[in-house]
Structure 1
Amino acid sequence: MATLPVSLVFAFKNRPKCVITRAQYVKEATDLAKRSNELGSPTRRKDESFGKISIQELVFLEDDVQALNEAFPQGEKADTSWAVTVLFSLAKLVFGILGLALSVIWPLHIIVFMLVNPPAFPFLNQVFIQLDSAWGLLGTTAFAIFCYYLVMSVISGEMHSIHPMK
């Protein structure tokens, strides 16, 4: 359950800090173009391990292209694009911290309420009941958020096991 919040916090940590210059963009884009050409070269295709290595390198190349586009927004609304990039980075940090809290609360609830016989404390059950008594759908919404987070954590963990190099 830790892969989702950790990856969100690392995404914030590794965000572009400022817009790069045009010269830096051209240099980076040229390097990416060279890497792209190397992936598609005929001598490379004859290699036996071409399939697995090229897929990993292709994923890395796509990530680098995306990072370059984030660091150097282009077009008529480049300032708006940069502002959105900054806001998404901050949102990743906030959701990473909230996810970390949820990742601690779920196992704690399992230990306190389900593994101890009789249950030591109703913990999340009581929280959801209190939220429901405050407003009809608040407890249900909170429970849905917890369940959705659990599903997203499982999917995130599965993606890391499928693509361990990513």
Structure 2
Amino acid sequence: MTSKLFSISCNSSDETTAQLLKHISQKGYKVCTISKSLTDVKDVNLITIEIEIEGLYVDIFINEIQAIDGILDVSVSFGAVLQVATYQMKFDSESFKTLDILRSHNTQIINIEADKLLVLHVASEKDIKLLYNKLDNSSLLGFSQIPLAIVQQLPWGKLI
């Protein structure tokens, strides 16, 4: 059984999160990691949860959790190595089109400072490149990308 990473947009109530975790517990799925963060949309949170689930049950699981009151959207990552990208953007009165682009790629604005935005994007390398190409203009001030996790085992025996 392999783990899958689910991104769940939901209302910011703790009751929605509790119902989600109760459902996962009742089904007997093992939770590997979970995080809950605010989004740039008022009263909407993003829950990222990695659970051990067999591939043939993923669609059933998605349908079940979409039926939970307060769940707005669910997406899943299969086997692709996820990357974390940060974009530093210039923000001014002409940046509203850029905000629409960012929103359509499921990004999070993690810092707003004067006339700059710091944007976080967890996605496959392909999706990060797609967004980067859309943002590659004078408003893009900085960019960095790293893998979300190390895929290879560390050589602990050689370190001792």
TM-score in same-fold range (> 0.5): no
Larger radius of gyration: 1
Provide TM-score, normalisation by structure 2. 0.20
- Higher relative contact order (CA closer than 8 Å, sequence separation 6+): 1
Provide TM-score, normalisation by structure 1. 0.19
More helix by share: 1
